[in-house]
Amino acid sequence: MSVITIGLLSFPVLLTMIFLRVPIGLAMFLTGLGGMIMVTGDTLVPFARLKSETYGTFSNYSLSIVPMFLLMGHFATLGGMSQALFKAAEGWLGHRKGGVAMASIGACAGFGSICGSSLATAATMGRVALPELKRYGYAGGFSTATLAAGGTLGILIPPSVVLVIYAILTEQNISKLFLAAIIPGILAALGYMLAISIYVRLNPKAAGQTRPRVSYSARLKALVDVWPVLLVFLSVVGGIYLGWFTPTEGAAVGALGTAIIAWSAGGLTRATLSDSFFVTARSSGMIFFIVLGAAYYNGFLALTQVPQEAAAWVGESGFSPWLILILILVFYLILGCVMDSLSMILLTVPIFWPIVQELDFGLVSMLELQTSRLDALVASGKEIPAALLQEAQGLLVSGQELTREMTRELKLRGVTQGALNRVNIEQTAIWFGVLMLIVVEVGLITPPVGMNLFVINAMDRKTPIVETYKAVLYFVATDLIRVALLVAFPIITLILLPL
């Protein structure tokens, strides 16, 4: 049996173990270990690799971001930020038809900006918003579906634990990924509100009573109460983007900031601090074990050359890059119905990224690169002969590339074909990462497994899960439309990124 055959057969073995309820991290580790023993013919190399793989995985400094973001979410809950967000959103939207549900989405988006976990966002906002939705007579299935969908904003709106893992796997800049996810995250929140508006018009009884209109003075006061959320978000994401500190330092600053706010609000005591550390350690341990299992399994796949062979086959197949991308996204949508988001990313990115990396989507042209580099040169204040600058700008405006001689005269750096290739690979990685994150997010609310559906439904035992399934399809539809938009117009994702 060839090593490639062994690698291919590992997939059904792994999926079988997962369906038999073997923990995903353990399933990937055991499959990788067994496969490596079969490939090498002994146990010496696999067990020696276990030692090096463990150290190599957990010595990655960037992984320390994960517990920091999780801890930040716990402190934010203790500080009452979730309640303040919901009250503010409810004050501005609650009087509309379906307004309390829309306020739940708005609050989830706000909480997602200081919590990098989807399940934590869903669970936290579920405790805050579900009683209000019930109080105003919203249908059970509609209420649970709304909060399950809103919870997915926790991994899309930065900071995001899943984006951190993706950045580590593909060796990309974490701050650029965070920046690229902002506009798709805002579109997600607006799309969910649109889905609510459509649903309550088609099912008027599902929305119950409208909340009394709140005065503008009360609305403004509620907005003032959410200043800690805005402060933490701007400190973390803004500080990372402006280069004030690294993503790891930014996560630590966010955790410290939310801890101070929780302490000042009276929610952080010795007991709750201990509980927060314990819950964060338990969640981090679970994530890190999955990361280790995935690292070991992906090391086995690399040994069998399956990802490399798949990339080479796709490159020689002549298929359109767009067709390949759509097929990969469809695969993620299907897999998301039966597997959680983190496991999907850890399992598939090392296989799909080499394939996507070889595809040419033409996201950046030489003309765009030269224009960006020239603008940066002018902004730097460097002296450029006026006639030369005017000629160069005239050529670029007319759609013509600068000649090699002119780039030398301008001393324009980073405009070679190699530089263009590197920029395109980086832009593709960021664009694909956001697309993948969105389709993974869809899996969190897609029946029959959708993790968020079960988290929220467990808080409302009286609502049949089937009712939640029916209502959540409206939110899934807006997700699919958003994916189509981002695929058709990559600029929506990449517009905030400098070349």
Segment 13-49, tens digit of pLDDT: 888 887 787 888 888 888 988 888 888 888 787 888 8
| Mean pLDDT, rounded, of the chain | 84
pLDDT attached to residue 26 = 87
DSSP codes of every residue in 316-337: HH---HHHHHHHHHHHHHHHTT
pLDDT attached to residue 183 = 93
Tokens encoding 122: 């869903």
Q: Which residue has the higher pLDDT, 322 or 85?
A: 322
Q: Is 174 exposed, middle or buried (0-12, 13-18, 19+ CB in 10 A)?
A: buried
Averaged over 228-232, what is the pLDDT? 82
Question: Above 80 in pLDDT, residue 62?
Answer: no
Averaged over 375-400, what is the pLDDT? 83
pLDDT attached to residue 132 = 82
Q: Are the beta carbons of 130 and 151 closer than 8 angstroms?
A: no
CA distance 280 to 76: 13
φ, ψ at 110 (rounded to 5°): -65, -45
Averaged over 91-105, what is the pLDDT? 83
Question: Above 90 in pLDDT, residue 189?
Answer: yes
Banded pLDDT at 56 (limits 50, 70, 90): confident
CA distance 306 to 301: 6
Q: Which residue has the higher pLDDT, 451 or 481?
A: 481
CA distance 322 to 179: 24
Question: Above 90 in pLDDT, residue 485?
Answer: yes
Instruction: Show the beta-strand stretches assigned E in 139-185.
Output: none
CA distance 71 to 65: 10
**Among 99-113, 184-198, 244-258, 436-450, the range of highest mean pLDDT:** 184-198
CA distance 111 to 465: 25
Instruction: Provide CB contacts within 8 A for 460, sequence distance 6+.
Output: 130, 134, 140, 143, 144
Residue 236, Cβ neighbours under 10 Å: how many?
29
Banded pLDDT at 486 (limits 50, 70, 90): very high
pLDDT attached to residue 187 = 93
pLDDT attached to residue 219 = 76
CA distance 384 to 457: 64
Rg (CA), the chain: 24
Q: DSSP assignment, residue 43?
A: S
CA distance 313 to 316: 5
Averaged over 429-457, what is the pLDDT? 83
Question: pTM (2 decimals)?
Answer: 0.85
CA 115 to each of CA 60, 79, 82, 125, 465: distance values in angstroms, whole numbers, following the listed order? 22, 13, 11, 11, 26
How much of the chain is helix, strand and coil, in % rounded to 5?
Answer: 80, 0, 20
Averaged over 54-70, what is the pLDDT? 81
Question: Above 80 in pLDDT, residue 373?
Answer: yes
CA distance 371 to 365: 10
Between vectors from CA 124 to CA 122 and to CA 130, what angle results, nearest 5°? 80
Helix (H) or strand (E) holding 154: helix 153-156
pLDDT attached to residue 430 = 94
Q: Is the peptide bond before 184 cis (omega within 30 degrees of 0)?
A: no
CA 208 to each of CA 79, 284, 473: distance values in angstroms, whole numbers, following the listed order? 31, 40, 20
DSSP helix/strand/coil, 87: helix
Banded pLDDT at 435 (limits 50, 70, 90): very high
CA distance 498 to 372: 8
CA distance 164 to 250: 13
Output the CA torsion 22→28→33→35 (10° steps): 110
Among 130-139, 223-232, 317-326, name the one with the lowest average pLDDT: 223-232
CA distance 94 to 104: 10
**Among 34-38, 390-394, 478-482, the range of highest mean pLDDT:** 478-482
Determine the residue type at 217: S
Helix (H) or strand (E) holding 124: helix 118-135
pLDDT attached to residue 482 = 94
Helix (H) or strand (E) holding 289: helix 270-304
Among 121-125, 206-210, 324-328, 422-426, name the one with the lowest average pLDDT: 206-210
Banded pLDDT at 188 (limits 50, 70, 90): very high
pLDDT attached to residue 427 = 92
Q: Are the beta carbons of 6 and 304 closer than 8 angstroms?
A: yes
Among 55-64, 291-300, 428-437, 467-476, name the one with the lowest average pLDDT: 55-64
